[in-house]
Structure 1
C-alpha cells in the first residue's frame, strides 16, 4: 500500500479510503490511485485487513438443495447484494439438511471470520436448529419465515398461493386441486395453507391434494390422477416444474389446457413462458430478498435495532394456461 501511495503521490490514508470506497476522495485522486494499483498489481491482504480493522467484510451463507431453482436464486440474490455493498459472500451448500451438516457449515464459515450468517434452509426444523447453536454473530433466516420475525427476510408464500388459487376461483372454478411440495419444507406448507385459505374465504371446499417432491416426475404422476377426476377443472401446482409434469399428463390423457383444466404454477422459472401453453404462475423477487437479507445482516453487525422487515409480496403472472370454467 505504501508503494501505491508513493506512485500515486498521495498518502497511505488516501489509498485506504479509495480501497474502502470512501466518498471523501476527489475523482482525479481516485483515478490516480486506481491506476497505481493496476500498474503495481496490488492486492489487499485479507489477514492484515482483518487484524487492522477487526472486520472481514465477509458474510457467510448456509443453504440447501442448490440444484433447485428457488434455493439457487436466493443464493444468487444474496451474493449480488453482498457485492453491491462491498462484501464477499461465502456460500456453503448442504446436499441434505441435518443438524450435524448445519453445525459443520457454521464452523467452516466461522473459521473465515464472517461478520454474519444468512441461513436459507426451507426445512421445518431449520429455525429451531439454528437458534440452538447460540452463535455470537448475527444469523438471518430467509426461507419459511413469518411476518415480523426477528432477524429475517422472506417472501410471503401463503399470499402467493392465495393469489394463484384466487385467480382460478375468480375464473369460476370451484374445485381446485393442489400438487404440494415435500411435507418437511416450510414453504410447501405455507403454499398449501394459501390454497386452503383462498377456498375458505369464498366458502368453498378445496379439491384433492396430491403429494409431490418439486420434480416434474411427481407432477406427472399427480396429473395422471387428476386427469381421471372430471370434477377437477383447475390445478394449483406448488412449483413450475411440477406444473410442467401436470401439463404433460393432462395432454397425454386428452384433457385440454386451459379448455378443460386450468393450471397455475409457482416460481416463474425462465422456461415458464415457453411451456405449452405458457404457464400462469407466481413470481418471486429473489433480488429484493437478497438485498433485504443483507440489509438486516449489516444492521445487526452495526448493532442497530432489528429492523421490522415486512415479507415481500409475490406477483401473479397470467398467461395461457388458465381460462374461465366452461
Structure 2
C-alpha cells in the first residue's frame, strides 16, 4: 500500500481487495458486511487480504471521517511512571467533555518490537485518533501502519516532521535549574541523568550541558541513572566523595530523593555542603528532608492539550501540520538549595 505522510496512507479500495483476493467486488462487499452465501475458504481469503492491505469497509471509513467511533486510542509506556496517570486522566476528561472515550494500550518495555506491536493492536480497533507517549523514539514510519484517517499526536517524544507533538518545556526547565544554582554562587553543576533511551532524559542532559557552556562554566562528567531513587542513591555515593561537587541537578525527583539519602549517609548535609535540584515536582517533593527545589511539570495540561490537538484534527478531518506545542515548566525553590560553603 502506498504510504504518504508517515502513518497516514492512501486508502485501500474494495477494488484493490477484490483484485488481490481474486474475487469480485460483490464478494468482497458481502464478506465486509457479514452477509451469508460466501464459501468459508473464500471468506477467509478475503478477510486475510483485507487485513494485509489495511482495508476497512466503507461504513467504517465514513465513520472515521465523521468521528462516529467517538474513541481516541492512547499508547503509552508505564502508566505508573511519574505524571502518566495524571496525564491520562486529563486526556480522558477532555475527551469525555466532547463525547469521546479512551482505549488504552500500555507498553511495558519501550522496545521497537513492543511499540510496533502496540501500533498493530491499535490498527485493529475502531479509533478516530491516537495519542502516543512512549519516551523513546518512534519506530520508522515506513514499517508502521495505522488505518487511513486515523490522526496522530505524539507526547514527550521525537516525531520528527511527521506529527504534531506536545512536550513540556524540558529546555527551559533545565536551564532555570542550572541558572538558579549558578546564581547562588556554585562554580558548576553536576548532573544525574535518566536512561539514555529516554527522549526527556536526553533533552534535559543536552540543555544542562548547553546552559553550563553558555555560562562559561566547566561541564563535569554526567552520572547515569534510571529514574529510580536507588540509582540516585548510587550516584550520590559517588558524588559525595568529590569535594568539588557542591551542586547537583537530578533529571527527576525520585533520583533527587536518592541523592539526599546518600549525601546524608556520607555526612555531606544538604544544602549546607551540597545543593540538589530535581525535575517534575512530584506530590511528595515538598516533604522531602529537606523540601526539594525542583522544576514543576504540568502533566494535566499536557493531557488536555494532547486531547484537544487530536479532537481538532478529527473535527477538521485533516492532519495538523508538524510542530511542537510547548507546555511551560516552572522552577519551585524550596530548602534543598543554598549558596556553596565558603
TM more than 0.5: yes
Matching residue of 1:190: 203
Q: Does 2:255 match 1:239? A: no
Structure 1 distance, partners of 2:142, 2:154, is 10
Q: Which residue of 2 aligns with 1:103?
A: 116
Aligned to 2:27: none
Question: C-alpha distance in 2, partners of 1:216/1:184?
Answer: 18
Task: Identify the residue that residue 216 of structure 1 maps to in structure 2.
Answer: 229
1:148–1:309 contact (8 Å) kept in structure 2: no
2:183 is equivalent to residue 170 of structure 1: yes
Q: Aligned Cα RMSD in Å?
A: 2.3
CA drift at 1:290: 1.1
1:291 to 293, 297, 304: 304
Alpha-carbon shift at residue 148 of structure 1 (Å): 8.8
Tell me how far 1:146 sits from its aligned partner. Answer: 7.7
Q: Flag structure 1 segments of 5+ consecutive residues without an equivalent.
A: 1-46
Correspondence 1:121 to 2:134: yes
Q: 1:321 is matched with which residue?
A: 336
Separation (CA, whole Å) in 2 of partners of 1:152 and 1:131: 19
Tell me the distance in 2 between the aligned counterparts of 1:147 and 1:130: 10
Structure 1 pair 148/274, CA: closer, same or farther in 2 (3 Å)? farther
> How far apart, in 1, do the equivalents of 2:101 and 2:270 lie?
46
CA–CA distance in 1 between the matches of 2:203 and 2:297?
Answer: 14
Q: 1:160 to 1:145 in 2, by over 3 A?
A: farther
Give the alignment partner of residue 158 of structure 1, picking from 146, 160, 171: 171
Give the C-alpha shift of residue 90 in structure 1: 1.0
Maintained 8 Å contact 2:123/2:145: no
1:306 corresponding residue in structure 2: 320
Residue-pair matches, total: 276
Which of 71, 82, 87 is equivalent to 1:69?
82
For the residue of structure 2 that corresponds to 1:291, the secondary structure is helix
1:269 corresponds to which residue?
Answer: 282
SS of equivalent residue, structure 1 residue 62: strand
Structure having the higher helix fraction is 1
CA shift at 1:65, angstroms?
Answer: 2.0
